Amino acid sequence: MSQMYNRKLKSMLEELTKNLTGSQYVNADSYAIQEDIIQNYIQYGFQDVRNACCYVVGAHGGIVPCVTISQVCWDRTSYVFWDPFHLTKTAHAIVAKHMLDGDSKYMQPMNIRKLSTT
């Protein structure tokens, strides 16, 4: 569903750029960035991609989001996921770096740094 939404969003933003004189869209494929982090987690410096850092119950610590009764891992920088649904601060920093300086694999038609200089 996310990938279908992202394709339609990209198409809509391209159309808006054509129709709104002086506008410039930038589309970040955060789904693709997150997939890259998951597939290459060791290269990014993570040790655990399967388990949530903050967990209550369930497989991989993930049935419910982080709440006050949750247990929290000692080294948050080693985990990709904070809870079953959200990335850790470390993973979000990688997403932000890709958005700022990433290539067309993740950012179309340009990254945020390039947009800021146009």
Give pLDDT tens digits for 99-115.
999 999 999 999 999 99
Asked if the model's pLDDT at residue 35 lies above 80, the reply is yes
- Higher pLDDT: 42 or 6? It is 42
Domain count of the chain? 1
Q: What are phi and psi of 27, to 5 degrees?
A: -110, 120
Residue 102 lies in a domain: yes
Residue 21 in any domain: the answer is no
Strands 79-81 and 48-52, how do they pair? parallel
pLDDT digits (tens, 9 = 90+) for 3-16: 888 888 888 888 88
In a domain, 20, yes or no: no
Residue 49 covered by a domain = yes
State the residue range of the domain holding 81: 2-15+26-116
Q: What pTM was computed for the model? A: 0.84
- Tell whether 37 is covered by a domain: yes
Most confident of 18-22, 40-44, 65-69: 40-44
Q: Where are the alpha helices (DSSP H) in the chain?
A: 2-19, 30-39, 89-101, 112-116
109 found inside a domain: yes
68 found inside a domain? yes
